[in-house]
Amino acid sequence: MESRKEVIAGHLVLIFGALIALHPFVSIILQALTPAPGSTATGWTLENFIGAWTRGGFSQSLVNSAIVAFAVVFVTAVAAVLAGYVLSVLKFRWRVAVFALLMIGLVLPSEARIIPLYNFFSSTGLLNTYWALILPQIASSLPLATFWMANYFAQLPNSLAEAASLDGAGEFEILRYIYAPLGLSAVLTLSCLIFLYTWNEFMLALVLMPDNVAVQTAPLSLSFFAGNERTTEPEVIAAAAVLVALPVVLAYFFLQRRFMSGLLEGAVK
Amino acid sequence: MTEVPSRNAGGHGQAEKPVRLSGEPFAWRHLLYLAPGLALYALFCLWPVIQTIQFSFHRWDGITDARWVGLRNYIQVFTSAQTLTVFGNGLIMIIFYAVLPVLIGLLIVAIMTRIRIRLLSVFRTVLFLPQILATVVVAVAWRWIYAYDGPINALLSAVGLGSLSRAWLGDFDTALISVGLIGTWINFGLCMVLFIGGAQKIDTQLYEAARLDGAGPFQEFMAVTLPGLRGEISIALVLTVTNALRNFDIVWNTTSGGPGTSTLVPSYLIYEGAFITRNVGFAAAASVVLTVLILVLTGVITRLMRSED
């Protein structure tokens, strides 16, 4: 049913699309490997990466990003497993109301809460600390995470909980020994997704940790670093951009099935 | 959100009905499971939104006492020439972030429906890459591509069109389009992946039936592929339209709204009003309008794409 011409044309279009998708990232990698003006290196070099690492303070900001992202992922995952369990397995009485409330957060842009968040953190003295970024991002990740876990637990057969309950297991034991282990795969996919969103977040970081280099996340550092074009060579900026992207890109290539299914399923919900 | 199946269905009076799990739909200790998540969610998501709405009815510089001004901030949002241009720019962004990628995706899927794709997972991985890169990284990469000594101008002069070369992001005529095309690049792969996945779920018998009826490639696309992709198109539009209207990161990191105000978008205006010019009430009103706009558009899209069945 497929003609040879159609097969070739179709794949050429796909290859063209793939090249366009790759081009900006590849070109920035190539630029980062090119010696900066004034450098003595010839051919490919890694010295731009060293320059970015030391001058741009990316050794610190990558660690900061990791601290924020892991904290958000961990707290969100735990809270979502607990909430998902009580909503879908224990059938919390007002679960429809809770789902409706969470629905609001699913579509809310950061712009709608950025001003009060700034006021809150500046009045509590938490502006420019990890907390200022961790707490709001847990809050914005929770709706998706809770729907995710509630859906997953709802798909599991009821007989699991019933059998355990007949054996005398309490509600929490049933979660601890049956649902939580079974939900591990769903939690991992969800964690990839939240890690990605948290790592890449820019606007909240810009507003909530503007003046403290010691806690700034990698995308924010990159933005400030790249803004100083007069003092920084474009090749070093390119190297910094690659450094910021690298952890997520590596995670993506190793866990692509999780990322892909996460992003697509996350979209469906 | 799939509906949670009812545990009690048909279970009444049966011996194995587990008393502990379904007998008490409400217990105080159930709140303990919800408390950590809901407390954080309420404190850092719901409460700030309520406060934003409250601010939007006040005139406030962020420091001195706020003054109640009723709807004046909203009137300003809807009547000031600048705000209208800025929201207009937001709508133009929808063309680049949402409409173009969806059209490109559909065009490509129209070519693909008749063939089996080799190495699909490789293509998927690559096409998805723009979605996972941090927007700041994307902005830095595209600043280089659009730079005066960057690849686009090099390509133009290589084919003898050197007279067209310019600093694309710094030119009044091209800045908005250039920023928009970054969005097209971010989202086209997402649309392709969604649509190719969706098209493979369409029953091949439908295509055979269409061909037996003498349908050409175009009629086949209109009659079979397009209706079959309704769900995917709806998802793609919801995601990309939301992206388009929340386009802060790319603008901040490429043009900062310039040159002049030519690439000023709503989120940038909100940021400026809230944290630079300290016109907090106005910024709050603008963010309420933006949020409502996003809600209405996504609501309309999902309804339109669903109701035709």
In a domain, A57, yes or no: yes
In a domain, B280, yes or no: yes
What does B141-197 look like in DSSP terms, one character per residue?
HHHHHHSTTSHHHHHHHHTT-GGG---GGG-TTTHHHHHHHHHHHHHHHHHHHHHHH
Structural domain including B243 reads: 72-307
Asked which of A34-38, A238-242, B183-187 is least confident by mean pLDDT, the reply is A34-38
pLDDT at B21: 52
pLDDT at A268: 60
**CA-CA distances (angstroms) from residue B47 to A101, A148, A227, B57, B140?**
12, 23, 34, 16, 35
In a domain, B224, yes or no: yes
pLDDT digits (tens, 9 = 90+) for A93-122: 888 999 999 988 888 899 999 999 999 999
Which residue, among A180, A3, A174, has the nearest Cα to B18 in the 3D structure?
A: A174
Domain count, chain B: 1
In a domain, B174, yes or no: yes
Partners of residue A117 in chain B, C-beta under 8 Å: 44, 48
- Cα gap B87→A75, rounded to integer Å: 37
In a domain, A12, yes or no: no
In a domain, B184, yes or no: yes
Task: Tell me the shortest Cα–Cα distance from B7 to chain A, in angstroms.
Answer: 7
Cis amide linkage into residue B217, ω under 30° from 0: no
Residue of B3, B8, B45 to mutate, interface with A, max A Cβ within 10 Å: B45
Residue of B8, B32, B33 to mutate, interface with A, max A Cβ within 10 Å: B33
Nearest to B144 among A28, A117, A218 (CB): A28
What is residue B68's three-state secondary structure? strand
Task: Tell me the shortest Cα–Cα distance from B235 to chain A, in angstroms.
Answer: 6
What is residue B58's three-state secondary structure? strand
pLDDT at A233: 84
pLDDT (mean) for A57-70 = 93
Burial tier of B23 (Cβ tally within 10 Å: 0-12, 13-18, 19+): exposed
ipTM at complex level: 0.91
Identity (one letter) of the amino acid at B8? N
- Cα gap A64→A213, rounded to integer Å: 10
- Cα gap A11→B47, rounded to integer Å: 51
In a domain, A184, yes or no: yes
Q: Do B21 and A138 touch (CB under 8 A)?
A: no
pLDDT at A95: 86
Domain count, chain A: 1
In a domain, B34, yes or no: no
Average pLDDT, chain A: 89
**CA-CA distances (angstroms) from residue A210 to A202, B87, B265, B302, B306?**
11, 27, 21, 38, 43
In a domain, B51, yes or no: no
Partners of residue B141 in chain A, C-beta under 8 Å: 24-25, 27-28, 238, 241
Flag residues of chain B having pLDDT under 50: 1-20, 22-23, 309
Residue with tokens 């949402």: B98
Helices A256-268 + A184-200 axis angle, to 10? 80
**CA-CA distances (angstroms) from residue A182 to A85, A145, B10, B196?**
12, 16, 26, 31
- Cα gap A186→B99, rounded to integer Å: 32
Nearest to A162 among B6, B21, B271 (CB): B21
In a domain, A5, yes or no: no
B119: tokens are: 């190495």
The CATH number for A248's domain is 1.10.3720.10
Residues B250 and B183: beta-carbon distance below 8 Å: yes
Which residue, among A233, A201, A194, has the nearest Cα to A216 in the 3D structure?
A: A201
Which residue, among A190, A189, A199, A193, has the nearest Cα to A247 in the 3D structure?
A: A199
In a domain, B236, yes or no: yes
What does B229-249 look like in DSSP terms, one character per residue?
THHHHHHHHHHHHHHHHT--H
In a domain, A21, yes or no: no
In a domain, B136, yes or no: yes
pLDDT at A44: 87
Structural domain including A173 reads: 34-268
The CATH number for B127's domain is 1.10.3720.10
In a domain, A62, yes or no: yes
In a domain, A20, yes or no: no
pLDDT at A89: 84
Identity (one letter) of the amino acid at A123? S
Residues B277 and B61: beta-carbon distance below 8 Å: no
pLDDT at A62: 93
